[in-house]
Amino acid sequence: MPAQNLRFDTRILHGPGHEKDVHNSIRFPIYAGVAFGFESAQDMEDAFLHRKPSHAYSRITNPSVQLFEQTLTQLENGLGAIALSSGMAAITNALLALLNTGDTIIASKYLFGNTRSLLEETFKGFGIQSKLVDVNNEKELENAIDEHSRVIFCETITNPQMNVSDCSLISKVAKKHNLIFVVDNTVTTPYLFNAKEHGINVVLHSTTKYISGGATSVGGAIVDLGNYDWTLIPALKKYHNHTRFAFLSRLRKEVYRNFGSCMSPQAAYLQTLGLETLSLRISKSCDNALFIAQCLEKNTKIKSVNYPGLESSDFYHLARAQFNNIEGKGFAPGGVISFELGNRDEAFNFINHLHLVKRATNINDNKSLIIHPASTIFSDFSSKDKKEMGVTDNLVRLSVGIEDVKDLMDDIDQALVRA
């Protein structure tokens, strides 16, 4: 049966690439080596000129990594994907392939801290400026756009604020100005969010999170959804004759190749294995998150709860409209919640008294993890920036795992009593 006729859960396991091992190994092996041999000088030339599909050197392509790329491509319904060493590598490589010095990025002011630092500090040194706005505010978005703008960038759900980006609105504005709409789909994944249907052009992932299967390895991915006219982009001028493949070609043949931020075959093996159980894990984590958010909302020790799955959330209707990719399974806005206690001391006491929930800086692991964002991930930011981003001193972020939710609630309840 052609892969495009299979449903999501089946495509993860049986999509293109899965049938190809020469020894018929059911689990695709780790091709750990670096170099691949050729029969003749002619074969080598054909490989280097991309006349025949083949692998030459693992920094550029590798069979184990390619299987992971092919699986992600079909889950996102894209044109092609490139797997990288981390989510940050995916963001950096994608943007540097699309931009020249003097170009600007219009980005959400609510971003993962390292991404914000990349845009505001690192890129500035290369003459690439970012304007940070509320991307859900059409007027603010329009006002930020000028002749130097090339890209609009946001995350599907911001963290720790848990704001939902209005992707249909942003895509409408991006289309009007011929801007490339790039979205970080880490926390929703293609299981919850159909990026192509919402007008996104390029999807980025930290595959370290849900996709890896439980924080097994660090990884990232860039997926071109094949719906942007790359001849409009000056940074891709040399590749305009590659037509639909111009962006992927510049990455593979230049930016990704030269930066050397490839995914290792060992990580690709773990990530492909993790991806196979994505639906099961993400469903359980989202169900647990909703239950916990509803309990927290009723607890008098809690000042506020941010979770777009709550009917009281300002983002509930937007979340319902966007995060419902899986037919017949309703909607689910990810497994991360944030909430405010009375003050910083209460937040620290609560965190210190948890037994089951681990104190750790990651999200979308199988295990539930807790952090105080203001004193950790956002500690480099000024008080003014933190205030503007809603990263308050009494805020904690809980990434909900796939444990039995009653055990999680018992742990949370006892820690709240002691907070």
Using CB under 6 A as the criterion, which residues of the chain lie in contact with ligand PLP when the complex forms?
86-88, 112, 114-115, 155, 159, 184, 186-187, 206, 208, 218, 220, 363
The minimum distance between CB 3 and ligand PLP, in angstroms, equals 27
Nearer to ligand PLP, 112 or 228 (CB): 112
Complex with ligand PLP: residue 225 or 246, whichever CB lies closer: 225
**Pick 224 or 365: Cβ nearer ligand PLP:** 365
Tell me the residue nearest to ligand PLP as measured from the CB.
87
Check if the beta carbon of residue 176 is closer than 8 Å to that of residue 133.
no
Q: Which is nearer to ligand PLP, 75 or 415 (CB)?
A: 75
Give the list of residues 6+ apart from residue 137 with CB closer than 8 angstroms, or none. none
In the complex with ligand PLP, the residue whose CB is nearer, 115 or 394, is: 115
Q: How far apart are CB 272 and ligand PLP at their closest, in Å?
A: 16
Of the pair 352, 361, the CB lying nearest ligand PLP is at 361
**Nearest-approach distance from CB 79 to ligand PLP, in angstroms:** 22
CB of 111 to ligand PLP, least distance (A): 8
Tokens at residue 106, please? 């219009």
Least gap, CB of 212 to ligand PLP (angstroms): 9
Closer to ligand PLP by CB, 96 or 415: give it.
96
Min CB(146)–ligand PLP separation in Å: 27
Q: Which amino acid is at 370?
A: I
CB closer to ligand PLP out of 220 and 309? 220
* Closest approach of ligand PLP to the CB of residue 10, in Å: 27
Q: Tell the smallest beta-carbon distance from residue 270 to ligand PLP (Å).
A: 13
Closer residue to ligand PLP (CB): 186 or 306: 186
Residue 239 Cβ vs ligand PLP, minimum distance, rounded to whole Å = 26
**Three-class secondary structure assignment of the chain:** CCHHHCCHHHHHHHCCCCCCCCCCCCCCCCCCCCECCCCCHHHHHHHHCCCCCCCCECCCCCHHHHHHHHHHHHHCCCCEEEEECCHHHHHHHHHHHHCCCCCEEEEECCCCHHHHHHHHHHHHHHCCEEEEECCCCHHHHHHHCCCCEEEEEEECECCCCCCECCHHHHHHHHHHCCCEEEEECCCCHHHHCCCHHHCCCEEEEECCCHHHCCCCCCCEEEEECCCCCHHHCHHHHHHHHHHHHHHHHHHHHHHHHHHCCECCHHHHHHHHHHHHCHHHHHHHHHHHHHHHHHHHHHCCCCCEEECCCCCCCCCHHHHHHHCCCCCCCCCCCCCEEEEECCCHHHHHHHHHCCCCCEECCCCCCCCCEEECHHHCCCCCCCHHHHHHHCCCCCEEEEECCCCCHHHHHHHHHHHHHHC
